[in-house]
Structure 1
Amino acid sequence: MIQRLKKTQMHTVAVLAVILLLTLNQTVLFTAFAPGLTEYLVTMLGMVILAFGFLVNGLYFNSQMGIKKWHHVTAYSTFFMVFNYVIGLVFLSRDNLSEMAYYLSMARLWFVIGNAVWLYADRLSLTFKDIKYKHLGVLVLLLLQLIVVLLGMPSVWAIETGAFLADAFTASILLIYVLNTFFREDMAVSRGYFYAFVALFVGQVVMTLSAMSAETLIQGHLLWILGSAFYWKEIHVSNLLVPKQETLQLQNQFNLYAKNLKKIIDKKTLQVREVNKKLIDELEYAKIIQQSLLPDRKMNYRDVTFYSEYFPCERLSGDFYDLYRLDDDHVALYLLDVSGHGISAALMTMFSSNYLKSNDQNLMRYRGFKPERNLRHFYDQFNHMNFPDEVHMVLFYATLNLSTKVLTYCSGGMNCAPIKFSKSGDVRYLDDSEGFPICRLDGFFTPEFKSEQIQLEKGDRILFFTDGLVDMEKNGVFDTDELVDFFKAHTALSANELNREITRRIDPIKNRLNDDITYILMEV
């Protein structure tokens, strides 16, 4: 409310200042500088060109940013208005006042026609929302001006009549603009546009109904400069500053949510760990069911071998993974890490398994061949559920073409990228894809998922793992650099032997882990 009052006061001061200047012009300046009124008019028209030049820039910038795409056409029409004003100045320099007035009238008509596009955009055909039709519309209007100019030549009818008709049409449209903005439901939002159109309308009426003279043109264009200033400011505030403030507010809320997320998760985890001992038998049975859904620890698909290991820190784990065929030439795998541990996390892994791996063969291939499509579907399904706000998960999904050895992958916010170890000793992290954790942010944020591909060669090894393997604070097995050095130091070992060496490092502490450890070792 305070901001609205400040805006109203600012607009009122501006209007009073212009009224004072108009009065000053009429009573003092026009008399004092009577011999130099032509130069005064030239200066005023130059200021109009400058003011609407700034407006063109603001309109076009907004259209390119996608804030108000309809401003694309408005920017074009305002540009042609400026262009016509330049022509009018040329005629004024040659003392052709009638031709000058005619081009200025056509220029203002250009402006109001261009504004009709965005003002009534929601009432126009959807066809004209396509950018190519916008350009076509501009060309049609340009052709229309050429026709009107020809009709306005003295040989057809008096050029003064053409200028008057253009001015009258412009004033009529501006009056419609004023009424439209005044009766809009969001008048509080469009108040700046209302002031702009009122200033333009009054200035146009002055130039239409009064006898053409330097004084009339100066007074009318002074009001048009005021209108363009209101117009530009409203574009800047409503389309840039306000969205920026809303974005910053949303970002602050998101940061607060992210900051408190870990505390909430730890609290829920502690509650799960303190569950009554009477549930131990049921938990053991649930553990058997969960682990029965995991694939074999060693699997071969043609000449590609997979070794997988799974070390839950509790009876039920928040880590889960799977390996399965999509068809004869493609194999899919995924790892996921649900927030927390225990029963709630295990239940989430069951939900995840159901949506990531469809029982329908056609759906399995349709989503499996494009990991980003699968993660997008999974994210949407997750947000359709009524899970607690603090529940979230990260995952990594990949598809391997067994014939071409091309691995297509996408990360859903996985905080530890898989590592590729070449036979030559080169190391590469698979962190080029785009994704976002699976969480309840629908309505606040719409993530994008994008897959990447990598060509594998014979002898390449890839380690897919959850963060428990490299979390020194919680588990103390490896950190990321130690893990890379470990692989480099054991290059000569077979994949089976290398897997045994990794498990040998984990076995002594597997009963006192503070976070689940899951990994898949793939060798081509």
Structure 2
Amino acid sequence: MITPNEKSIHRWDFKRYTEILYTLIGCITLIVALSLLEISQKGHFSLDNATPWYGFIDFFAIILAFSIFLISYYTYHQIQNSRLAVVGFTFLIVGVFDAIPLLTCPYIYVPYGMEAVPGKAVIYLLLARLLNAAGLLILVSMPENRKGRLGREWRLVLSLLVISAVIMLVESFPGAADYIYGPEGMKPVGNLLMGAAGLLYAYNTCRAIIDLGKNGDSSSKTMACAFILMLFSQIITIGAYSMNDVRHLLGCILKLLGFMLFFNIFFIHGIRRPYVLLSKAKEELNEYAYELDRLVDKRTYELKQVNKRLMADLDVARGIQHAMLPSTLPQNEFVSFVSGYLPAENLSGDFYNVIKIDDTQYGIYIGDVSGHGVSAAMLTVFTFQRILSLMDEIGKEGMTIPAMVLKHLYDSFNAANFSEELYIVLIYGVYNTETGIFSYASGGLNTSPLRLRPDGSIQELDAEGFAICKLGDLFTPKFSNRQVMLFPGDRLILYTDGLVEAANKERQPYSKERLKELLSRHHKWNASVMIERILKDVKQYSEQLNDDVTILAIDVLRPF
């Protein structure tokens, strides 16, 4: 855990300020050395024939200013940084104002005294310093990547209007230069203007150092060094008495160095930085891709292990479900029960059973539960256990009333903690061997029992009913008892929807009509052979079963 003191030390890491400190010490050392030289000379230190160098230095500074403008102009639509764009147009104005004395008054760069310098040239040079300092103030004051309303074309027009207005103003007041400088050098007003530019540079330096402390961006460091050079280019020029004064030469050199640093900043942001970021992004993307591959391999292995455990759990659930299905069904000389079952590939929820209520009555039920997998298996177990427990709760007489059995099952299901999307559909019936009556009630099973007569005719019984679902708080269904007389030789077929909905490759269902046609054609076969033939036909019809196929036959035996 990092303490507040450690955070403060981390924030003020002095290593990041090394270049700024060196720049500051170098500029201070330069001024001190020049002052000592002037003291030893007992006056200002001048260089013979030094003024032509001013022209070359200013010429390169003007090229840098125009280069900064061009970079900001042509990269604006890509980087959308209004802060750099405004400063770029400021350098356009500065470059024009610096170029005016160079083009219109070239003789100021020959070895003459200050008295030979036209006043207008000095005004343009001072305006260039002030506008440069003010424009760079925008650089440190505006938010990063702020998008402005004016495009680069409108900024260009605005800059040209400013240049034209300033030139017209200077040309209209030629006597203004008398208040700025004279033969003896800069007057107080001129020095005041240079000092104002210096103060702006000092403020910009502080803001750049603060930004460096906040974000640690290398451009803020370069910017701070450039501001220091521009600041000391103003300081060292104050007090110069002639164009041959070495202060003028050193001030021009410092300004050129500052412009070079600003060019570096604009070059990085406008041209080099996108490529650097792109290269860095490609490296990060490669690292992410490698890490993603490694993570995918790891997750794939984990998923395989989870799937392995899940399949093992499904096998256990499938074993539980199959164990609940009866291996043998009760029968006597009056009735025979035969079942057939084809499991789907996924764990499904078909169930059936025949329970002996007493010597003459048998409870029969067949049904399906919602969904697949473990939840279906658990619902199947619930249904088996609940129907068996009703034998003790409502007694044998209650078990002979199908509607009562379904009503208790509905209430028990709603009392249990099952989710709302789960449900059970089934038919529960009771066959009385003495009367031959089959009483039944439907709990929403969507298949109708089929009564196969000895002559091969088929009667479809009514099987409308309400499913066993989680609507106990909203609705109480009324389950109806229905009855049908079964005569010797009759056969009652109960089945789940997995049989008639089994589809072939063309996605055509097996259908109830196909089932009825098969039953009618083979009505003389015994129940076991018939069910075996039906399951074989379904399996051939549908290569892959998506739901269990369950069929239960009640075969009323002939008395001979």
Taking structure 2 as the reference length, what is the TM-score of the superposition?
0.42
Taking structure 1 as the reference length, what is the TM-score of the superposition?
0.45
Greater Cα radius of gyration, structure 1 or 2: 2
